[in-house]
Amino acid sequence: MVNLSVIIPVFNEEGSIGPLLENLEATLDRIDRLSEIIVVDDGSTDETAAALDDHRRRSSRLRVLLLRRNFGQTPAMAAGFDAARGEVFVTMDGDGQNDPADIAGLLQDLDEQEYDIVSGWRRDRADSFVSRTLPSVTANRLLSEITGVRLHDFGCTLKAYRASFIRRVNLYSDMHRFIPGLGAAVGARVGERVVRHHPRRQGVSKYGIGRTYKLLTDMFVLRMLVRFAGQPLHYFGLLAIFMFMASLGATFFAFVDTTSMRLVNYSTVVMPSVAVLGYCLSFYFLMMGLLCELGRRCSPQTEYIHTPMARIEEWS
């Protein structure tokens, strides 16, 4: 039975993937686990598929998934998770900047510290400071505040996961970098380990400062997933109460003369209309909260958001 699955999403890495796989195979030979390598070609337009096919003929570990078009790193990684058969997943980039030799350390922390996720920390990054390192440092600080998980490098692809946890996570957009935060929200133990980071020798980077806006959007989505999705009725209920109280105030000013405190019949329809609208909105928010609560409880797609992880201990 396969114990370790190494998952590598790639896009236009014809010059890097061959040397990386050779190095990775040598590393896995020294790890006492039955392993497999899953490379997900995310619709490459160069000769990446040919390089993978050449290596596949010489390797008993390698499995290749060819996506029909370029979907992005997170969907490619999700496809790899679906195909993986191991009890532990390790993800890494296909550009050769992650070092396969660090896999053993991640696995050691996963076992000895009983972590569910061990995230790599590229403490000495071999990237441009302005376009890569500086935005990364800023984003990591924001993510630490949002999730409460104190990691130095959320964006490092080199991570180790327990398959029992990661199979419960529904990934989309660029959410792969936020898995530690999602995991911590349901009780997963998250650790961090310093890993090496090599300069890119082949190809060009697929990320840059221009993706910052998307990262900020995903941060907002993450906060909503972690804080809102677990108790939607709480938030919509607060909105409903606020609108109901505002409507009561509008009703008072519409039908009561504040100077004499007597009921009056104003000819204007502005305040009564505002009051009616407020009552309708409060009812709308309450119903939305109930529907979201029902959807949260009934949908398996959100199970990982609100179902705590637990370790069952049997006493003899």
Q: Which contacts qualify for 247-254: CB closer than 8 Å, 24 or more apart?
A: 247/274, 247/275, 247/276, 247/277, 247/278, 247/279, 247/281, 247/282, 248/275, 250/274, 250/275, 250/278, 251/275
**pLDDT score, position 208:** 54
The answer to whether the predicted template modeling score (pTM) of the entire model surpasses 0.75 is: no
| Separation in Å, CA 226 to CA 109, 143, 182, 212 | 26, 12, 7, 21
pLDDT of residue 262: 64
Residue 187 CA: distances (Å) to CA of 105, 179, 234, 251, 309: 23, 12, 21, 47, 5
Q: Are 41 and 52 in contact (CB under 8 A)?
A: yes
Q: What is the pLDDT of residue 264?
A: 63
Q: Are 211 and 236 in contact (CB under 8 A)?
A: no
Q: Where are the beta strands (DSSP E) in 198-237?
A: none
Query: Cα Rg for the chain, rounded, in angstroms?
Result: 26
Residue 184's pLDDT is 77
pLDDT in tens, the chain (316 residues): 889 999 999 999 999 999 999 999 999 999 999 999 999 999 999 999 999 999 999 999 999 999 999 988 888 999 999 999 999 999 999 988 999 999 999 999 999 988 999 999 988 887 666 656 666 777 778 877 777 788 888 889 999 999 988 887 777 667 787 888 777 777 789 999 999 988 877 766 655 555 556 666 666 666 666 666 666 767 777 778 888 888 888 777 777 766 666 656 554 556 677 778 888 888 887 787 777 666 655 654 444 444 444 444 433 3
Tokens 């000895």, residue located: 112
Q: Are 175 and 254 in contact (CB under 8 A)?
A: no
The whole-number pLDDT of residue 296 equals: 57
Q: Which two tokens stand for residue 312?
A: 């069952």
Task: Provide the pLDDT for residue 263.
Answer: 59
Tokens of 45: 């337009």
